[in-house]
Chains A and B, each alone.
Chain A
Amino acid sequence: MTCSFHRVERMENRTSLKKKFLQKWIKGLQLYSPSENLTTITERRKFIKLSADIAMASVRGSMTKWSRALIANASCNSENKVLVEQISGCSTEILRKSAPDLGRACRLQASVAKKITSKKILKRSRRMRKREPLPSRLLPSSIAKRLVKKRTQLLKSLLPGGESMDDESLIKETLDYIVSLRAQVDVMRSLARMSGFKSS
């Protein structure tokens, strides 16, 4: 009995999520001016995707880490600042105050990339030195642990701001991110379908 209630609640949340996303996305798209350098298909595609991502993150605002990180990453580029402010409705200064990761995100991106490369080099040299395989490595439990660790890392790389998340918040953020992505895809697909009808 509680299952159906939750399903209805989820449906309503899903609709309101799509509505909010569309409202914000349209606000961002209004910035598009054909007179500037947005006339090539590539530029248009990038603009559409960027405004959609920012709108999606802006719906969640500062409630989730992934949305804060996404907006922070977008704001790193000075060209995108106007778009961010237009969609989120507040200046990047306010965003920076409410989300302290905003300034850190840009530096974090560079440092994380460096760390990953240096870790890979270290791993490679370690592997080459140890010739004898340790028996403990082949235990199913340790193999499973390594697999979980590896896939957790992969998930973190897929989530905006995921690198600095602990395991518990990673799960909550993942669920929220997936729900938001689905709403974004639904709305974009509807628009593409509508526009397809118009042109045919």
Chain B
Amino acid sequence: MSSRRSRQSSSSGSSRISDDQIIELISKLRQFLPEIRDNRRSNKVSASKVLQETCSYIRNLHREVDDLSERLSQLLSTIDADSPEAAIIRSLIQQ
């Protein structure tokens, strides 16, 4: 695995992720990342900026999951799958 990577970097003179892939990623991430969405010249956003925003976004999502798990552990003294809460959420999601 590591040998393949070193071969790649020595053969290609450009950055490790190609520009085309960056453009594709940007257009898809645009809906998630407010930084890039507000940027008018978004087609000139650098690869490192996209990566940075992506990493911080994922970290935020991880933190939210942890916080929500914390909150749920306090709220759900008994985790009852047949509880009215689960039924409500199920119906809400089905809308």
Interface residues of A (CB under 8 A from B): 15, 18-19, 22, 26-27, 29-30, 32, 34, 41-42, 44-49, 52-53, 144-145, 147-149, 151-152, 154-155, 158-159, 164, 166-168, 170-171, 174-175, 177-178, 181-182, 184-185, 187-192, 194-196, 198-199
Contact = CB atoms under 8 A, between A and B. Distances in A.
B74 A41 contact: yes
Contacts of B55: 151, 154-155, 158
B64 to A, nearest CB: 5
A183 B64 CA distance: 12
A48 B73 contact: yes
Instruction: Give the interface SS of chain B, mostly helix, strand, loop or mixed.
Output: helix
Contacts of A41: 73-74
Nearest to B64: A185
14 contacts: A45-B73, A46-B69, A48-B73, A48-B76, A52-B65, A144-B47, A145-B16, A148-B47, A149-B16, A167-B17, A171-B25, A178-B61, A192-B71, A192-B75
Given A158-B58, A185-B68, A145 B51 contact: no
Interface in B16-33: 16-17, 21, 24-25, 28-29, 32
Given A32-B79, A45-B69, A154-B51, A19 B94 contact: yes
A52 B16 contact: no
Interface residues on B, range: 35 or more
Nearest to A189: B68
B28 A52 contact: no
Interface in B44-84: 46-48, 51-52, 54-55, 57-59, 61-62, 64-66, 68-76, 78-79, 81, 84
Interface of B: 1, 4, 15-17, 21, 24-25, 28-29, 32, 46-48, 51-52, 54-55, 57-59, 61-62, 64-66, 68-76, 78-79, 81, 84-86, 88-90, 92-94
A159 B51 CA distance: 13
Contacts of A151: 48, 51-52, 55
